[in-house]
Every structure is written in C-alpha cells, then in structure tokens.
Structure 1
Amino acid sequence: MQSCDRLSITVLVDNYIDMLMPNTATIRRQGMPEHFLPRRGTPLAENGISFLLKATTAGRTTTILFDAGMSGIPIIHNAKVLGVDWDEIDQVVLSHGHPDHFGGIYAALEAMGRRVPLIVHPSAFHPRSIKRPDMMIQYFNRGLTEHELVEAGAAVVAVREPLDIAPGIMTSGEIPISVDFEHEVPAGRMSIRDGHVHPDPIDDYLTLIINVTGVGLVVLDPCGHSGVLSSLDHAQKLTGVDALHGVLGGFHLGHAGITQQKIDQTVAGLGERGLKLIAPMHCSGFRAQRAVAEALPESFALMTAGAELVIEASSAA
C-alpha cells in the first residue's frame, strides 16, 4: 500500500464538546480562548460523527469528507467555525446507511456546490427498520436514496470492495468479523432486500484506512459495526502493513445491552495490538472511554467536535 507524508484529521461532528481540554503535541482543540472569545462561533455537538481528512503526499493534498453527522446544522456551523473551505473537498465517503452518519450529507453537498464523487456501499440504500417489544421504527433510513444524492450533487460510486481513493488512503470494503465476541446480536434490526424482510447484516459498513509514511496505519472506524478489533485486523490483512498506529471513531460499545465483559475484552485486544493512539468517540460510550483511559492511558485520546489531529512522517516514534 502507498503511504502519505502528512495526515490531518478534523472532527467536524461528534457527541462531545469540552472547552477545558488542553492541546497536545499532535492534537489542537477548540479550547477556552475559542469559546470565550469566539470569532466565528463555538462548535456544536450532536449524536453523530463526521471527519475531514487532509492527506498530503509529495506536496499534493487530497481532502476527504467521511460521514456527515445526524443533521445539517452542526456540520455546516462547525465547518464555518473551523474555517473549512468546502471548495477543497475532493471526495466524500459514507460509512453506512444510518442517519447519524449520513444525516448532514445533503447540507454538505449543497455547501460544496459542485459534482463530487461519493463512495458508498450499495446496501446502504436498502430500507431499514427496528422492531422490538418496546418500539417500532419503520424505514428509518428513508432520507438516503441514490436519486436524492445525485440530485444534490453527488457522483455516486456504489462499491462493495475496497477502493484506493488517494495515495495512502483506501476504503475497507466489506469487513469480515474475525473476533468471536464482536459478532453483534441483531436485536430487531431488519432490512428489506429483493422484496423480502431479513435480519440486517449491516454489510454496507466500511472504514477508512490511512498509511502514514514511517508511522503505520490509522483506521477511522466511525461506528464499530464490524467490531473495532476485526476492523484493525482487516486493515492489516488488506494493506499488508503490520504497524498499527491509531484508531479513532465509534466503537459501538455504548448501548445498554453491551456487557462489561465485552468492553474489557475489547480494551485488552486494543492493548495487544500495540496502538499508540486510541480515540473512542460517538457511540463508544462512557464505560468504554473510561476503560481505555484507565487501561491504556498513554494511548487514550478524547477527541471532541472541533479537534484536529496531525500525524506526520517525521513524528514516527
């Protein structure tokens, strides 16, 4: 796999804001000066996630929007606060067809104002429902259709397999769950395919894999539907790169039905993989964040809306 020389990851949307967190050597945050003396406003948070990546190789930079949060409000507002230039975005990637990841996409495409490639798995468009004894949520992803994306300015690239999208950056394609305890119980999640109702395998889920020269792989795993450990193992196998540097995103451990045993097993697995940066965000949940912070304090990073992480080849440890 090719590599990039410099990687910048800006969190456009996440569940959290914290103005008291300090900057670090690699992470710049929206802190007290920005909140108390706002020039463009202060960031907003919501139950969703969105990343803006800038990967530079040989002096050329590719800018990628990965997911778009739950609604158009925070992604547009935070982009203004952070000084994002929508004209610079080269490509868009949607991790899967859940509203907390695609909800702001139409506002983002409108802000870009031109035809932009948008990579998504074709199964993201299948109608989805949740049926449980206490609730029925029918067709909750009806806001995502290929027709509406094209009308909004997306050049849709519907693909199941991994895809190289820039030097050092690729999509994961479908991710096999290789760690036994990471298999999710559907718990009433259903999808409609070919006129039939099926348990939803969430086979449209994908991650982004970035290889930074001399540093190793950084995996953006927005919602953890394939299991964060399985996603990391898949990234290594797919790229042939052994060095794992970091993982950021939602680890899908925040739901009430997730056992403490699963959280502890996940944290142990992260420790075994020797990661230098672990940022549980979005749907990871407080218990998982606390567990990573306590077990792996040197690797743990709490990324919040407005934070920017920079990893460069020269910073390899």
Structure 2
Amino acid sequence: MQSADHVSITVLVDNYIDMLMQNSPGIRRQGMAEHFLPRRGTPLAENGIAFLIRATTAGRTTTILFDAGMSGIPIIHNATVLGLDWDEIDQVVLSHGHPDHFGGIYAALGAIGRRVPLVVHPSAFHPRSIRRPDLMIQYFNRGLTERELEEAGAALVKVREPLDLAPGVMTSGEIPISVDFEHEVPAGRFSVRDGHVHADPLEDYLTLVINVTGVGLIVLDPCGHSGVLSSLDHASSLAPDAPLHGVMGGFHLGHAGITQQKIDRTVDGLIERGLRLVSPMHCSGFRAQRAVAERMPEAFALMTAGAEVEISAPVSPPSKGESDTTQKK
C-alpha cells in the first residue's frame, strides 16, 4: 500500500460537542473562542458520523467525504462553520446502508453540485428491518436508493473488494470477523436478498485505511460492525509493512446488552496492538470511552463535531553538520 505525506481528518458530524474542550497536540477543536465569538456559528451534534479526509502526497491533495451523518442539517451547517469548500471534494464513500451514516448524503451531494464518484458496497441497498419482541422497524434504509443517489449527482462505484482512493488511502472492502468475541451483535436484524428474508450479515460494511509516511496506519471505523479489532487486523493484512498507529470511529459498544467483559476484552486488544491514537466516537458508548481513557490515557482522544486532526511524520531536527552547512550557505 502506498503512503501519504500528510493527512488531515475533520469530524464533520459526531454525537458529541463540548465547547470547553482544549486543543491538544495534533488536534484542533471548536472551543470557547468559537462558542462566544462565532463568525460562522457553532457546530451541531447528532447521532451520526461523517469525516472529511484530505490526503496530500508530493504536494497534491485528494479530498474524500466518508459518510454523511443522520440528516442533512449538521453536515451542511458544520461545513459552513468550518469554512469547507464543497468544490474540493473528489470522492465520497459510504461505509454501509444505515441511516445514521447515509442520512445526510443527498444534502451533501447537493452542496457538491456536480457528479462525483460515490463508493459503496452493492449490498447496502438491500431492504433492511429490525424485528424484536419489543420493536419492529421495517425497511429503515428505504431512503438509500441507487436511482436517487444518481439523480443527486453520484457516479456509483459498487465494489466488494478494497479500492485505492488516493496515495495512502483505500477502502477496506468486506471485513472478515477474525476475533471470536466480535461476532456478538444486537439481535433482530434482517435483510431481503434474492427474494428471501435472511439474518442481516452486514457484508456491506467497510472502513477507510490510511497510511501516513513515517507514522503508520490510521483506520476510520465509523460504526464497528465488524468489530474494531477485526477491522484493525484486516487493515494490517492490506498493508503488512506498515505499523498500526490509530483508530477513530464508532466501536459499536454502546448498545444495550453489550457486556462489560466485551468492552474490557476490546480494550485489551487495543493495548496489545500498540495503538498510539484511539478515539471511540459515535456508537462506542460512555463505558467504552471511559475504559479507553482510563487504561490508555496516552492514546485516548475524545473527538467532538468540528475537531480537526493533523497527521504527518515528526520533523527531525537537523544534525549539527547539516545545521552548520545551512548556516554557511
């Protein structure tokens, strides 16, 4: 896998906003100054997630929108707050066919205003339902259709395998669940495929794998449907020569019925993999955030809507000889 020289990741949508948070090394947050002296407004949060990735190699930047939140309101508003130029977006990726990830896509495509490639797994369009003794939600992804996406400006790229998007950025393709306890998912999900009703395998779920020169792999895992550890291991298999550096996204550990044991075992696995940046967002839940914060304090980063993360290799100071040469010139 190629690598990028520099990557910036902007959190366009997330569940959380906190204007009292401070900047930290490599992370700029919308804080008190923006809250009390808003030039464009302050960010909005909702139950959803969306990232904007800018990957720069040899002076050329590719800009990718990854997911679009639950509705069109925060993604458009937050883009204005952050001064985003929609014209710079080169590609769009949808992680899977759930409304908290595709809900704002039509508003985003409208803001882009031209035909743009949109990468998505073909199974994202299968009708989906939730059926439990206490709950029935039929066809909750009916808002995602190929026809409407194309009419809104998407040039659909339906693919199951990993796909290179830019130097140092690729989609994961289908992710095998390789960690035994990550097969646990909330029950009652169904999808219609080939005219039959099946338990929903969520085969359409994908992540983004980013490789930064001198840093390693950062995995954007928006909802953790394949298990965050399995997603990390799959990313390593795609770029075996690059070390794992970090993971950001929803770890899918906030649902009722997720045991503390599963959360603890997940954090065990994150520690074992030696990550230096761990940011549980969106559907991760407070218990998972607390566990990472307590057990991985140096790696833990709490993200908020509007946060901007800059990642590149640290600049080494010149050696004495190099410094002397520079001064002589």
Q: How many angstroms does 1:290 deviate by?
A: 0.1
What percent identity do the matched residue pairs reach?
Answer: 83
8 Å Cα contact 1:186/1:199 also seen in 2: no
The aligned runs of 1:48-127 (5 Å cut-off) are 48-127=48-127
Query: For structure 2, which runs of at least 5 residues remain unmatched after alignment?
Result: 317-329
Provide the residue aligned with 1:152 in structure 2: 152
Provide the residue aligned with 1:253 in structure 2: 253
Aligned pairs, number: 316
Q: What's the CA shift string for 1:249-305, capped at 9, x where partnerless?
A: 000000011000000000010000000000000000000000000000000000110
CA distance in 1, matches of 2:239, 2:150: 31
The aligned runs of 1:254-269 (5 Å cut-off) are 254-269=254-269
Provide the residue aligned with 1:301 in structure 2: 301
CA distance in 1, matches of 2:315, 2:120: 32
CA distance in 1, matches of 2:275, 2:241: 14
Runs (4+) off by over 3 Å: none
CA distance in 2, matches of 1:12, 1:128: 26
Query: Aligned AA for 1:98?
Result: H
Q: How many angstroms does 1:239 deviate by?
A: 1.6
8 Å Cα contact 1:48/1:69 also seen in 2: yes
Query: Aligned AA for 1:13?
Result: V
Provide the residue aligned with 2:271 in structure 1: 271
CA distance in 1, matches of 2:214, 2:185: 38
8 Å Cα contact 1:217/1:241 also seen in 2: no
Q: How big is the alpha-carbon RMSD for the aligned residues of Structure 1 and Structure 2?
A: 0.9
CA distance in 2, matches of 1:76, 1:113: 13
Q: How many angstroms does 1:190 deviate by?
A: 0.2
Query: Aligned AA for 1:52?
Result: L
Provide the residue aligned with 1:197 in structure 2: 197
State the SS of the aligned residue for 1:226: coil
Would the alpha carbon gap of residues 156 and 282 (structure 1) be closer, same or farther in structure 2, given more than 3 Å must change?
same
8 Å Cα contact 2:175/2:231 also seen in 1: yes
8 Å Cα contact 1:215/1:315 also seen in 2: no
8 Å Cα contact 1:3/1:168 also seen in 2: yes
Comparing 186-195 and 202-211, the one that deviates more:
186-195
Provide the residue aligned with 2:4 in structure 1: 4
CA distance in 1, matches of 2:164, 2:282: 26
State the SS of the aligned residue for 2:275: coil
8 Å Cα contact 2:186/2:255 also seen in 1: no
CA distance in 2, matches of 1:289, 1:186: 19
8 Å Cα contact 1:186/1:200 also seen in 2: no
CA distance in 1, matches of 2:250, 2:187: 19
State the SS of the aligned residue for 2:314: helix
Query: Aligned AA for 2:76?
Result: I
CA distance in 2, matches of 1:263, 1:55: 32
Q: What's the CA shift string for 1:140-166, capped at 9, x where partnerless?
A: 000001110000000000000000010
Provide the residue aligned with 1:220 in structure 2: 220
Would the alpha carbon gap of residues 124 and 266 (structure 1) be closer, same or farther in structure 2, given more than 3 Å must change?
same
CA distance in 2, matches of 1:43, 1:124: 29
CA distance in 1, matches of 2:91, 2:293: 33
Query: Aligned AA for 1:199?
Result: A
Which protein has the larger Cα radius of gyration, Structure 1 or Structure 2? Answer: 2
Provide the residue aligned with 1:16 in structure 2: 16
Query: Aligned AA for 2:30?
Result: Q
Q: TM-score, normalised by structure 2?
A: 0.95
Query: Aligned AA for 1:244?
Result: L
Provide the residue aligned with 2:327 in structure 1: none
8 Å Cα contact 1:10/1:51 also seen in 2: yes
Comparing 11-20 and 306-315, the one that deviates more:
306-315
Comparing 168-177 and 180-189, the one that deviates more:
180-189
Would the alpha carbon gap of residues 194 and 186 (structure 1) be closer, same or farther in structure 2, given more than 3 Å must change?
farther
Query: Aligned AA for 1:236?
Result: S
Q: How many angstroms does 1:313 deviate by?
A: 2.1
8 Å Cα contact 1:11/1:308 also seen in 2: yes
Query: Aligned AA for 1:42?
Result: T
Q: TM-score, normalised by structure 1?
A: 0.99
Q: How many angstroms does 1:242 deviate by?
A: 4.0
